[in-house]
Chain A
């Protein structure tokens, strides 16, 4: 972008409205920052509890799942139930925070283009900003939940290794890339077909249960067999959740619980590759579709 000061006798003639995709978002960091700040400011506007809602909602969700699954369905390990998962509460919560981040990021990103239609129709700016801002806002909302998780882990005797912390970061990056990629894809498709929002809602409902958030991966392996389990395992959310279990839950136990084989050497790289592929696909689809946003909105 040119600054105001240089009068462009010599600037080249360029085609307006043709951007550089996600790299433009990086160039427009200031605008991204303002968009994220705006979203954060208006999110809880006019509500009494304000930002506290970011704690209350996952708190209630956690409690319900913990009682229903951990206590009633017997996933929690206890004297009468030795086959259960030790520290099931931490196990459950470390998965929930990640899937909550994914759910919020994707559902907002998928609506972001139509939601900002008024602006997109009138002024040219890199439209990738809106889905990216949605994911960013969700990442900010993820932080208080992460803090609660860490506090809970510390009370449960958390002693992570450096490798485990790196795994957590990798898990988060995998899920963030996946949400951005799918957000670009469904966000741009939503301009043409509003069905896209409903597909996303359905996908998110499925995503919560196709990863070992509530239950243990060993249950899946014993029911599906090795080859179908490998398919189950290629889901980037599954890999992200397992990385979180490895980082937050495992170090609060006696570390005898089995982790999915080859999680770090094989599955984490697979997750990164799959998420990156989805991100590239999303960006490609977005660029194919964005040329007609202004007239379709």
Chain B
């Protein structure tokens, strides 16, 4: 076993900027920086976290506790103000699937574009293409523009691309509510398969029943601090006691 994700003393502050115009910023500078042009918000505070390869970890917490921000640091979308985040192997996010989809392209073109965005090579997509289409149950509509897809079809295809990217570390953010129930079951089965294959999973979800079925370990965040780190059932109990 080796460390897959290592977070040390991670701090992140958000600047809630009120202005988007150069004029206001210059006026503020010229008038001697009077008043605060922006408010600061501590999203993550001295977060330490170490996740071993093959672990399944749920990040739990109420809205605004910093779960998604932490996930964005692990994926590299955000950079820490101080402290460090390090990961081993390829990290891919099932974060808001379909972010890279374009409505005017066909399903096929979107599979390639999205696959490439998620870090797959051309050869990998070629190889996985049939499997992606089969998993998504899109069938003959694969060459139709995705704007004609129903929202369920759209999500199924996006999810299907994401689970075929085959990284070492999977980040999953609130996407398990995909499609109808049979498809949800299929997604869960696929996620369990991935974890059985030794992939590291980091899941953010408010569905406590669901995460306790997938994950072994729970990390509870509150106002940007880690307040609990341990077995999933204890973590869920801890979170419930917060409310």
Binding site for B on A (CB under 8 A): 1-4, 7-9, 11-18, 28, 30-31, 34-35, 38, 41-42, 45, 118-125, 192-195, 291-292, 294-296
Known contacts A4-B167, A122-B93: A16-B75 contact under CB 8 Å? yes
Say yes or no: is B77 at the interface (Cβ < 8 Å to chain A).
Answer: yes
- Known contacts A123-B93, A291-B79, A294-B77; A16/B99 CB under 8 A: no
B contact set with A: CB distance below 8 Å = 2-3, 6, 14-15, 17, 20-23, 25, 53, 72-79, 84-91, 93, 95-96, 99-100, 102, 104-105, 109, 112-113, 116-122, 124, 165-168, 198
Nearest CB of chain A from residue B184's CB, rounded to whole Å:
22
Tell me whether B77 and A123 are in contact (CB under 8 A). yes
Pairwise interchain contact A14-B88, C-beta atoms closer than 8 A: yes
Pick from B78, B84, B90: contact of A1, CB under 8 Å: B90
A-B residue pair count with CB separations less than 8 angstroms: 119
Check B79–A13 contact: CB distance below 8 A: no
Closest to B106 in A: A41
- Given A7-B198, A38-B109; A2-B104 close (CB under 8 Å): no
**Least distance between A41 CB and chain B CB atoms (Å):** 7
The answer on a CB contact under 8 Å between B21 and A193 is: yes
**Can you list 15 A-B pairs, Cβ within 8 angstroms, ordered by A?**
A2-B89, A4-B165, A8-B88, A8-B89, A16-B73, A16-B74, A16-B91, A17-B79, A34-B112, A38-B113, A41-B105, A45-B104, A119-B100, A123-B95, A295-B78
Closest to B118 in A: A123
**Complex: A3 Cα to B79 Cα, angstroms:** 24
Is B88 a contact of A12 with CB atoms below 8 Å? Answer: yes
Interchain CB contact under 8 A, B79 and A1: no
> What is the CA–CA distance of A291 and B99 in the complex, to the nearest angstrom?
20
